[in-house]
Structures are given as C-alpha cells and as structure tokens.
Amino acid sequence: MKFSKAFVRLNWISLVLIYLVVVAGSFVRITGSGMGCPDWPKCFGNWIPPTEEASLPDNYKDVYSEKREKKIVKFSKFLRSLGFENTAKKLESDPNLLKEEDFNARKTWTEYVNRLFGFLAGNAMLIAFFWILLKYRKRKLILITFLNLVLMGVQGWFGSIVVASNLVPWTITVHMFLALVIIAIQLYVIRMISPSQKLKISTPKWMYYLLWVCFVITIYQMFLGTQVREAIDVLTKRGYGRDQWTDHLGMQFYIHRSFSWLVLVLLTVIAWKNERGLKYKCLRFLYVTLALELLSGVLLAYADMPGLVQTSHLIFATVLFGILTMLVLRGKIDVDNSSILEVSR
C-alpha cells in the first residue's frame, strides 16, 4: 500500500515531537522544575499557568498538598493490586511527598512547556491514528498506532503520578522508559509507511549480531544511567560534592562506565568495516552519535560542566537508541549467512 507524503511527514513530525518531549523533560529535571506545576493536566488549576504568586490563593500550598495526598492514596491502592505492598507503604508513609514548593514562575513555565510538547505529540499521533482508520484501514497499522496512542495516554497519566509523588526517583525512571517504548513503536510505524526506509544494504552476519548486542547494551545503559542520576540527586541532597560522588555511587556507576567503552569498541569495529567497503551514512552517524554521547558522559563524570550537558547526554543516548532501533527493526538474516539491513543511504 502506498501512503501519501503528507501522512508520512506527519508521522516523522510526531517522532520529532516525542523527542522534544524527552529533551524538555530532561531540561525540567536539571532545572528542578518538575514541581513547577503541582497539579496535572492543568497547571495551578489553569490551562495557561500564572506568572506571579499574587494571582494564587493564600492557601494554595494546602490545597495542592491535599490533592496530592488523594492521588498518592489511589496510586498506592493500584500498586497493592499489582503486589507492590512495600512500595505502596513507603509512598503513604513519606511526609516529604506532601510538601509544596514556593511558586516560581520560571519553573512553572519550564514545566508547562514540557507539557505543551507532550500535548502536541499526543495530538499529532491522534490525527495519524484517525487518518489510518478513515483512509487506509490497514488492520496491523491501526492496531500498532492505537497501541502507541494508548501508551502516550498512559505516559501522560503516569506524568501525573510523577508529580503527585513529588518526583520519587523510580517513577522518573519508569516515565523515561515508557518514552523509549513509544519512540520504538513510532519508528516501527515509520518503517511500515515511509518509502525512504525501503532501501536495502547488505552487511555481514556478524555485524548484524553486533548491532543487536549494542542495542541491548544501550537499553541497559540507559537504565543504569537513570539509576546513577538518581543516586547523584540523593548524594547532592546529603551535601556531597562532585569530588565525592564517585566514592559513593557504587557498582552501578562502574558498570555504566565500563559498558560505555564496550559499546565504543563494538561500534568501532562496525565503523572500521563500514569505511573499508560499505560506506553507509547511517553507520557513520551512529558512530558519531556514540562519540558525542561518551564525551558528554565524561564531562558529566569528571568536569564541573553546566546542567545542559546532562540534557545533551540524554539527547545523544536517545538518538543512539533510535538509530539502533531502526537498524534492528529493519534487519533480517539472508539464507547465504549475510545480513540485510533496510536503511536509507
């Protein structure tokens, strides 16, 4: 089936908007703006947030603390239904979750922009879904886009949980990985509809398997990265300086660092083989992205760099994840023991 250029373009735009949500979410975190809007989906009860504290009632902290408490109770019941009794108890017994921050216009609008990107991405996906449903009526595509639309809704709902739990670390990790799943599914949709993704290149079988290994390690690396980031947040609150972080981060930091170099070695082999004969741009871009991601990681670990480096580190990691996802989704092993990867030059 041939899909219109406008429809394909809309799905690419949806992917870009999803990435912008991830970037904005990272910026929210490094600026400490996660609680800039104490409620969800509105912000201080309005679709357009206030710009000054004078426009809020005197007891606004009590109001939103009470609302948060109700959400925590509901979410705790949900966790218990899934068997997470200890996690539910920790949420209910943590008095810090009910503490409201002072109004800060900069933080409020930073969080609002993050939500705005999420709104735009969700609506772009909704339009694409109805486009498929009304015009193309391809069952598999309908199911996949509907699944991703549901996950986008779940992501939005879980965003309210992140806010309600006052940014409990594990909720941030789950929030990020839901975003990665949405990105992967959106890439699969684009794989199905975009003519530019139908060009094929042949690579050795071992290279295809190495790409799979790198893909799996990258997912694990992103999980470890969130754990390291959460541990640093805890250490910072306890008064530890940057020079003391490494001594207190534990094995997860060293595994995260070691696996980064492992991926570098594997992709260096792939890049070397590519330059010796294949010369495909996608593999070059993959290697450059990894190099930038590692550089930003080194700056984070050993240099007193501004917070934007954290956002850059996440951007490069998610772009790396996206490229690897496209490669493994589009690859297949040929009968002559070679691998065919459908990638655009």
pLDDT tens for 79-91 read 788 787 887 787 7
CB 10 within 8 A of CB 121: no
- Report which secondary-structure segment, H or E, holds 100: none
φ, ψ for residue 194 (rounded to 5)?
-90, 120
182 shares a domain with 40: yes
Query: Among 37-41, 123-127, 153-157, 337-341, where is mean pLDDT lowest?
Result: 337-341
Claim to verify: residue 192 and residue 80 sit in the same structural domain: yes
> What single letter denotes the amino acid at residue 225?
G
pTM (predicted TM-score) = 0.82
Q: How many domains does the chain have?
A: 2
The rounded percent of the chain whose pLDDT value lies above 90 is 17
pLDDT of residue 83: 82
Tell me, yes or no, whether 64 and 170 share the same domain: yes
Is residue 146 located within the same domain as residue 25?
yes
pLDDT at residue 243, rounded to an integer: 64
Can you give the pLDDT at residue 139? 87
- Mean pLDDT along residues 230-250: 68
110 pLDDT higher than 80: yes
Q: What does the pLDDT look like over 287-319, one tens digit per residue?
A: 898 888 888 777 776 665 556 677 787 888 889
Greater confidence (71 vs 335) lies with 71
Is a pLDDT exceeding 50 seen at residue 344? Answer: no
109 with 206, same domain: the answer is: no
Last residue of a domain, one of 164, 198, 232: 198
Helices then strands (H, E): number in the chain? 11, 3
Same domain for 156 and 293, yes or no, is no
- Residues 66, 163 share a domain: yes
Same domain, 80 and 219: no
Last-in-domain residue among 198, 229, 252: 198
Q: Supply angle C-alpha 143, 124, 185, rounded to 5.
A: 40
Q: Are residues 136 and 20 in the same domain?
A: yes
More confident: 41 or 242:
41
Residue 335 pLDDT: 44
Would you state the pLDDT for residue 302? 66
Work out the pLDDT band at 130, boundaries 50, 70, 90. very high
Q: Give yes or no: residues 204 and 62 share one domain.
A: no
**Where is the domain boundary, 140, 172, 198?**
198
**In the structure encoding, which two tokens stand for residue 69, read together?**
């408490």
What confidence tens digit (pLDDT) does each residue in 135-150 have? 888 889 999 999 999 9
Range of the domain at 139: 1-198
Q: Are residues 251 and 171 in the same domain?
A: no
Three-class SS state of 202: strand
Q: Which residue has the higher pLDDT, 332 or 21?
A: 21
What's the CA gap between 176 and 170, in Å, rounded? 10
Residues 220 and 279 in one domain: yes
